[in-house]
Amino acid sequence: MRSMLLVLAVLATGAQAEEGTPCDKVETTQQGFECSAFNRTTADREMNTAYKDLIDRISTQYAAHPPQLSDYLAKIKNAQDIWVKLRDADCAVQTFLNEKGSQAFQIAQNDCFAQNSDERSEYLQSIGIE
C-alpha cells in the first residue's frame, strides 16, 4: 500500500514540472510524507486558482446580466461547498484502514486530497468555456 502511495505521489508530481520539489527523490517514509504534503498544497493552490479564475470568467461573461450572474455564482459556490464535503467523505473512506494520525494515514489523506483537487481543477477550468 505504501509503495503504491509513493508511486502515485511521484506521478502526481510529474505534472507539476517544478524543479527542486520534495518529490524529486523519495526514498524514505518521511520523504514520502513530505512529497504528499507538497502535492496536496500544490493541488489545493491550483484548485483555488481555478475556482477564482472561474468566478472572474463568469463575472465577466455575465456582467451585463446581473440576475443571471448572481444566480450562476450562487450555484457555483453551492457546488463547490458540496464538492468539499464529498471530497472529505471520499477521502475518509479511502483512508479508513490506516491508523488515524499515523504517517501512513497522513500520506494517504494528502494523496487523496491532491488527486481530488487536481480533478476538480480540471473541471472548474472547463466551466463557462464557449
Look up the domain containing 86 and give its range.
2-126
The answer to whether the CB of 110 falls within 8 A of the CB of 37 is yes
> What is the residue-wise DSSP string for 49-92?
HHHHHHHHHHHHHTTT-HHHHHHHHHHHHHHHHHHHHHHHHHHH
* Domains in the chain, number: 1
Q: Work out the pLDDT band at 98, boundaries 50, 70, 90.
A: very high
CATH of the domain at 102: 1.20.1270.180
The model's pLDDT over 71-88, given as tens digits with 9 standing for 90+, comes to 999 999 999 999 999 999
b/e sequence 11-35, b meaning 16+ C-beta within 10 Å: ebbeeeeeeeebbeebeeeebbbbb
Kindly report whether the global pTM for this prediction surpasses the value 0.85: no
pLDDT in tens, 87-96: 999 999 999 9
